[in-house]
Amino acid sequence: MAHNDGTICRFENAMKVLRRVRRRRTLLVVMALAAIVSATQVSGKLLRDEAAAGPPPTRIDVVVDEVTPGVKIADPYRWLEDQESAETRAWIEAQNKYTDSLLKPLPGREALQKEFTGLLKVTAFSLPRERGGRYFFTMRLPEQDQAVLYYRPGVNGANQVLVDPGEGGDHTTTVNLLSITPDGKLIAYALRHGGKDEVAPHLMDVDSRKLLPDAFPEARYFGFSLLPDKSGVYYAKEVKERNRVFFHKMGSDTAQDAELFGADIPANKILSARVSEDGRYLLINVAQFGPGNPSEIYVKNLAANGAILPITKDLGASFAGDFMGDRLFVSTNWKAPRGRILEIDLKNPGQENWKEIVPEGPAVMEGLAVSGGKLAVLSVENVIEQLKIYEAGGKLLRTIPLPAIGSIGGPTSRAGSDELFYTFDSFHIPPTIYRYNTATGKQEIWAQSKVPMDSSAFEVRQVWYNSKDGTRVPMFLAYRKGIQLDGSNPTLLTGYGGFDLSELPVYRAESAAWIANGGIYALANLRGGSEFGEEWHRAGMMEKKQNVFDDFIAAAEWLVKNKYTRPERLAIRGTSNGGLLVGVALTQRPDLFGAVVCGFPLLDMVRYQKFLVARWWVPEYGSSANGEQFKFIYAYSPYHHVQQGTKYPAVLLVTGDADTRVAPLHARKMTALLQAASASGKPILLHYDTHAGHSGGVPVSKQVDDLTDEFGFLYWQLGVSPPISIGK
């Protein structure tokens, strides 16, 4: 696994050496790697001399690690892991200038920018939360860069501003509502700067708009819940890479908050804390990524000042609960891979007293909300979402009809009210928020984004294809009606395939723009997600992770075989775990794609667990520190399978300084490696934002610019003409 000035000696080659020679094997491998690195330094220099307009040069400084006994790996770009060094900062600046020099002058940029402006600069809402007859939500007006926190006194009251995060002129700060007291008079909200995961919570008296003096430090919080009587707040926070649950007494110094729980919880588990609506109970959830996404529920009877007691523990399954008085309704995959709902009487919480309310069925349960003594259950069957209302005893009352194939957001509700809110959207349908009455079944539109796009001109369909091992995999396609299957359509394929998360048709400006301009937008429902329950998840994680990549590659092959597109007109795009996905597809099948956008990615899978919060993901991916896991991790690690002289498609890697979730070093190192290795002559570019993070925080005006860059790059590489009007 030697890296050179743009190449890697694949582990398979190193293993051949190891098999041939039993003695002095480490010395031979390192010598072989050093020779390859030296040779590529020369070839890389010649390439740069011959192509003065090419990417800026990247220094090689080989570091050799013994990752597993007897196997040493050379990394020539380790120095790029130091994000704050002057040399790295200069390299980032040079890369951004190079990227801008190619993307900014592209023809059609002005039209594309205008299109994304029309799609993004519209009024956008969040789901409202009602407390004491007051409705709290965020709304962003067309001329605003970030959403503002509002409340509305009554359903038909006038909107009133509570927090405008852009007031101080910083358009990268966002606001998130954390908690509201039942009377709607005290709120907790968080400010997030630049898209990083760490936030700073604040407390506000709603009537006076005054902040309470309680000052909480910026950190990763997982649950922040006010007591109904306003005497304090329970929250979970990361402290020295471990989660803890704390209690803060109102008016006291937050530095002296009492630690209640978490001292014995391993660092790879995430804690959250939530107080019941009536203030009688505290629920603590201890969650972990991995098989079954195992979680545990602990409950403290606050009314009786009881001890923190385990309700579900050591069962190796996920549990998520919602209160209804002294009962806890729990959605779980325990003994039910597709999920079921149990009722737990908190006065008699022993497992022998648990009741099954909604049994496992063909649909996969994805969410549960208690509303007015009823249960709102979100599920997905054959990757089509459903929202059903049940009586507390388990009787199905009704299924809420949906207007098309799409996605449901939420729902939000509370135990003491029949009022429930949810969103519906799809690739071609912007979000609509519905206000639904769980007692009567009546609903009305609460808010709707008005986008200059004729949704009736497009269609969404679901297709199925065979993966490499014969597994049937579904995929959504969105395009203009009447499309011709002649193999010439520009097609954008995306996916995720991990962490038990399902991928469904949702509205995004980029997908809307793509299909409006005659492209096909494809979303493959890969193994590793939750589309078919826990078995589907397990089939795409750890030693079976290659299944995810096989599913994705098979989706691309199906699109080509069925004449939707051809490789030079096919692009792939993914972020985070999806960035890993497209990184693997890029290295395993470079011949299959014309362009790649790889955002906020994991790419050096041999070292990923060493950075930021990646320790949480070891149960999902494994760790190279484990000799057996190293074998299957290395087998697909994109950074370690770039081959010198390969004709790679055009690649745009996207990341930012404020990503405190996936270390930006992955994109930096991969950029340097691909730039030196690729023999196609196609651009390998880095779009590096010195302010943005993993998600959120990017002003709308900056989103317009970023999407213009990304899709200008894709249009350029796929030979797509400048965009037409989205309204036609």
Residues annotated as part of the active site: 576, 694
Length of the chain, in residues:
728
DSSP-derived 3-state class of residue 405: coil
Phi (first) and psi of residue 364, to 5 degrees = -95, 125
3-state secondary structure of 63: strand
Backbone angles phi, psi at 95, to 5 degrees: -65, -40
Q: Please name the residue that has the structure tokens 């709308």.
A: 700
- In 3D, which of 207, 190, 201 has the Cα closest to residue 149? 190
Alpha-carbon 220 to chain mean position: 16
Return the number of other C-beta atoms located less than 10 Å from residue 66's C-beta.
12
Dihedral angle of Cα 117, 118, 121, 123, to the nearest 10 degrees: -170
Question: Three-class SS of residue 626?
Answer: coil
Amino acid at 163: V
Structure tokens at 622: 């494994």
Residue with tokens 């009688």: 280
Burial 589-598 (b: 16+ CB within 10 A, else e): bbebbbbbbb
Give dist(CA 174, CA 320) in Å, integer: 27
Contact assessment for residue 345 and residue 392, using Cβ atoms and an 8 Å cutoff: no
Q: Do residues 517 and 495 lie in contact, with contact meaning Cβ atoms separated by under 8 Å?
A: no
Report the run of H or E that residue 481 belongs to, with start and end. Answer: none
CA–CA separation, 485 and 498 (whole Å): 31
Contacts of 574 (CB under 8 A, 6+ apart): 494, 495, 496, 580, 581, 582, 597, 598, 599, 601
Q: Which residue has the tokens 């779009």?
A: 687
**Chain centre distance of CA 152:** 31
DSSP letter for 158, please. Answer: P
Residue 426 to residue 477: CA distance in whole angstroms: 11
Q: What are the strands, taking DSSP E only, across 24-102?
A: 63-68, 71-75
Query: Tokens 């010598």 identify what position?
Result: 31
What token pair was written down for 222? 């997982």
Beta strands (DSSP E) in 407-537 are 407-412, 419-426, 429-437, 443-448, 458-466, 472-480, 491-494, 520-524
Q: What are phi and psi of 675, to 5 degrees?
A: -60, -40
The gap from C-alpha 383 to its chain's centroid, in whole angstroms, comes to 18
Q: Name the residue with tokens 């939707």.
A: 564
Longest dimension (CA), the chain: 81
Which residues are 271's β-sheet partners? 286
Q: Which amino acid, 717?
A: Q
Are 301 and 346 in contact by the 8 Å Cβ rule? The answer is yes
Kindly report the CA angle at 572 between 568 and 574, in degrees rounded to 5?
165
DSSP H or E segment with residue 365 = strand 364-371
**Packed helices 25-50 and 11-20: angle between N→C axes, nearest 10 degrees:** 150
Distance CA 152, CA 125 (A): 13
Are 499 and 528 in contact, with CB atoms under 8 Å apart?
A: yes
* Sheet of 258-261, strands arranged across: 221-226, 232-239, 242-249, 258-261
